[in-house]
Amino acid sequence: MAEQLRLMAVHAHPDDESSKGAATMAKYVAEGVDVLVVTCTGGERGSVLNPKLDRPDVWANIGEIRRAEMDAARAILGVEQAWLGFVDSGLPEGDPLPPLPEGCFALQDVEVAAGPLVRLMREFRPHVVTTYDEEGGYPHPDHIMCHKVTVAAFEAAGDPERFPELGAPWQPLKLYYDIGFSKAKIMALHEGMLAAGKESPYEEWLKRWEDRPDKGPRITTRVECSEYFPVRDDALRAHATQVDPDGFWFHVPMELQRRAWPTEDFELARSLVDSPLPESDLFAGVRETAHAR
């Protein structure tokens, strides 16, 4: 019999798992794959982006609230979830930028911070791991650190000489970076809204994108998961402090999203199996070899 397939998605904060690759995870859960979300920090320094919850009582209990939101989102997605236990670094603002808070995630030594994730990889034994690219998807210090720690753990987990006290070695077979937005995707959604006679929320975004690099050419893998877009949105709304249910993310009608861009997109960054590109499955090349693991 083939081995049970396992996917690990490593994210910086609670809510990131619901805005990046969530429909893909829900699709694999429905197909019987074991999925574990790893959350590096507790999101203690996150903003309250829902104006209805921008209240002193919410701010006073933000860490506890964000954990409860994560538990609700986890249940909606049908995944397992684990905390690495690091402290949110916050998003520094100003010119010059202020220093990061002492002891925060982004200031940890990468080799040391990779240890807890190596332990989880050896316990859960994922075949596939997803995280952010070297820019963190966007330049939040915790997202960049999440990338560094995940890459370090991916490379160390299978090496018996590294972290020998953290369990028996296990080598994941593939590492992917989420490519949440490409210029082609934004343009497809924008043009779809205009064709439907609706105001597009992406017009200003496209103007700002003129001087930004496009990550579209980096996409190697497109997972068709539009059936699970409603699950993604329900999980995102569960992070009520982080998402305005009347805001930007929910302006595009569901059927239009499904027609305009029915996939979630990834870049294959590391692979120990043969999987010709482009792909439509994160487990391409893994399904054929998992039975031998």
User: pLDDT, tens digit, for every residue of 40-81?
Assistant: 999 999 889 999 999 999 999 999 999 999 999 999 999 999
Confidence band for 204, pLDDT divided at 50, 70 and 90: confident
Question: Three-state SS string across 64-125, please?
Answer: HHHHHHHHHHHHHHCCEEEEEEECCCCCCCCCCCCCCCCCCHHHCCHHHHHHHHHHHHHHHC
Report if residue 44 sits inside a domain: yes
Q: Is pLDDT of 291 > 60?
A: no
Report if residue 189 sits inside a domain: no
3-state class (DSSP) for residue 25: helix
Tracing tokens 């009582």 back to the chain, one arrives at: 57
Interatomic CA distance for residues 129 and 178, integer angstroms: 11
Complete edge-to-edge strand list for the sheet that includes strand 80-86:
80-86, 34-41, 6-11, 128-131, 174-178, 263-271, 221-224
Report if residue 209 sits inside a domain: no
Report if residue 192 sits inside a domain: no
Report if residue 195 sits inside a domain: no
Confidence band for 216, pLDDT divided at 50, 70 and 90: very high
Report if residue 97 sits inside a domain: yes
Total of domains in the chain: 1
Q: Is pLDDT of 292 > 90?
A: no
The answer to whether the CB of 182 falls within 8 A of the CB of 219 is yes
Spatial CB neighbours of 32, under 8 Å, sequence gap ≥ 6:
4, 5
Amino acid at 207: K
Spatial CB neighbours of 97, under 8 Å, sequence gap ≥ 6:
none
What are the pLDDT digits (tens) for 261-286?
999 999 999 999 999 999 999 999 99
Report if residue 198 sits inside a domain: no
Q: Is pLDDT of 2 > 80?
A: no
Residue 229 sits in a domain whose CATH number is: 3.40.50.10320
Report if residue 221 sits inside a domain: yes
> What phi and psi, each to the nearest 5 degrees, are found at residue 8?
-115, 130
DSSP for residue 282: T
Is the model's pTM score more than 0.85?
Answer: yes
Tracing tokens 């064709």 back to the chain, one arrives at: 195
**Would the annotation count 13 as a binding residue?**
yes
Interatomic CA distance for residues 287 and 245, integer angstroms: 38
Range of the domain at 44: 6-181+217-292
